[in-house]
Structure 1
Amino acid sequence: MDLHILFFQLCVALIALPIHILAFLGLWDPIAKKGLPYLLARMTKTLNKYMKEHKKDLFNHLKDFRGPSGEIQILELGCGTGANFQFYPAGCKVTCVDPNPNFKKFLSKSLAESEHIQFQEFVVAPGENMAQIKSGSMDVVICTLVLCSVRNIDEILAEAHRVLRPGGAYFFLEHVKADPSSWCYFFQRILDPTWKHIGDGCLLTKETWKNLEKSKFSDLKCRHIVAPFKWSPVKTQIIGYAMK
């Protein structure tokens, strides 16, 4: 590792020293899991304001994956506070999966503002093992800003593939590693060791598009975009969908 990168990483670590100490003692994770829903609840409106057009364009394709009954069975993986609900088509049936049970009570506000969808249930489970969800039971799996914080992207993609019916689709929007020659990448490397604690495991330099390319999904439609966030280490993103 470049010495100047290590130096700046240590500087950031010193600023966030209490967090690193709590993480070392095994006390930070419970705090982060309880605090993250509050943080995301405050950030949701701002994030949707900047990403509104990208999300509208992405989720406009959901109607192309209606099931044989004419309905759309959606599984949202890592649903968080329900930030995507407003972009879903009317009448779709939504099942939410998240390993953090603290998000459940935060869904109520999003659901109250999204009467156009039919909420099915909230399942507490890791994306790597969604045994409660039947194979081939979903028309669409949606995962946005989640794979940055998981331990095994390939296992999650395999599970998403399993629960989809043939012809179903996996929709994604994820922040990823920036161009290595950019300032954004420079700051990603500096922040990564501390960011993972603040973001509940989130890593800034994942190359998630490579996992998608080697997954079982076919007809991958993936675009690299720069989100309109000023001075943000998460502005380099991928967006699109892939079919089973």
Structure 2
Amino acid sequence: MSLAIRFWTLVVNMLCIPMHVINAVGLYKVYKRVFPMILRSFSASYNQKMHERKVELFRSLSEFIKPGGKLTILEIGCGTGTNFQFYPPGCKVICTDPNPHFQKYLEKSMKENEQLTFDRFVVTSGEDMSVGDESVDVVVCTLVLCTVRDIPQTLREVHRILRPVRSSNWANI
């Protein structure tokens, strides 16, 4: 087992060499500015291919709306906001992403999805979200957990910020 772990650690480290070189020569800031543009194009194509599946995955979000209340969704690693079209109307959306350069693309997505209320954009990682305890109804993270440094800490943060479910209707979920 130890040999396999060492082998895969070496493989991952070798795959990361280009990023280390980019950082060493001072191009990481350029990468952080260019990546949102690339992701915007990729996300549109990805959403077309995954449209039916995403409709199905996000269909139950409206069930979390409390009577007379408003659904608050926090999206970890929101990127360009390509999931917004799948959120139920009237939701309040809090967006987080460690890359501040996504904000202008995010604002464009919010304008395209006027059925939602944009609360705020927080530049933060999933491991340390600057959001109050028990302040959101739903947390969405799409293609994100593979990029965080500490998955257990990210999940602890998700648990911390989610409002507890007090209704017996949710016992079977």
- Find the counterpart in structure 2 of residue 100 from structure 1: 99
Alignment partner of 1:160: what SS? Answer: helix
- Find the counterpart in structure 2 of residue 149 from structure 1: 147
Cα 1:115–1:154, aligned 2, differ >3 Å: closer, same or farther? same
The letter of the residue matching 2:145 is L
- 1:70-111: per-residue Cα shift (whole Å, max 9, x none)? 311001111000010001100011010111111101112211
- Find the counterpart in structure 1 of residue 66 from structure 2: 67
Alignment partner of 1:129: what SS? Answer: coil
Give the distance between the partners of 2:160 and 2:19, measured in 1 at CA. Answer: 37
Gaps of 5+ in 1: 169-217, 220-242
Q: Give how far 1:20 is off.
A: 5.6
The letter of the residue matching 1:135 is D
Give the distance between the partners of 1:39 and 1:116, measured in 2 at CA. Answer: 26
Structure with more of its chain in strand, by fraction: 1
Alignment partner of 1:166: what SS? Answer: coil
- Find the counterpart in structure 2 of residue 30 from structure 1: 29
1:114 aligns with 2:113: yes
Asked if the contact 1:67–1:139 (Cα under 8 Å) also holds between the matched residues in 2, the reply is no
Cα 1:98–1:21, aligned 2, differ >3 Å: closer, same or farther? closer
Alignment partner of 2:146: what SS? Answer: helix
- 1:116-165: per-residue Cα shift (whole Å, max 9, x none)? 111111111111111x3110110001000111111001111110110000
Give the distance between the partners of 1:151 and 1:136, measured in 2 at CA. Answer: 23
Alignment partner of 2:137: what SS? Answer: strand
Structure with more of its chain in helix, by fraction: 2
Gaps of 5+ in 2: none
Give the distance between the partners of 1:73 and 1:20, measured in 2 at CA. Answer: 35
Give the distance between the partners of 1:26 and 1:126, measured in 2 at CA. Answer: 24
Give the distance between the partners of 1:50 and 1:85, measured in 2 at CA. Answer: 16
- 1:2-32: per-residue Cα shift (whole Å, max 9, x none)? 9xx99xx7xx97xx98x36724726343233
The letter of the residue matching 1:110 is S
- The count of aligned residue pairs is 161
Q: RMSD between aligned alpha carbons?
A: 2.7
- Find the counterpart in structure 2 of residue 161 from structure 1: 159
Cα 1:118–1:25, aligned 2, differ >3 Å: closer, same or farther? same
Give the distance between the partners of 1:21 and 1:57, measured in 2 at CA. Answer: 39
The 5 Å alignment of 1:89-238 reads 89-130=88-129, 132-167=130-165
Q: Give how far 1:34 is off.
A: 1.7
The TM-score normalised by the length of structure 1 is 0.59
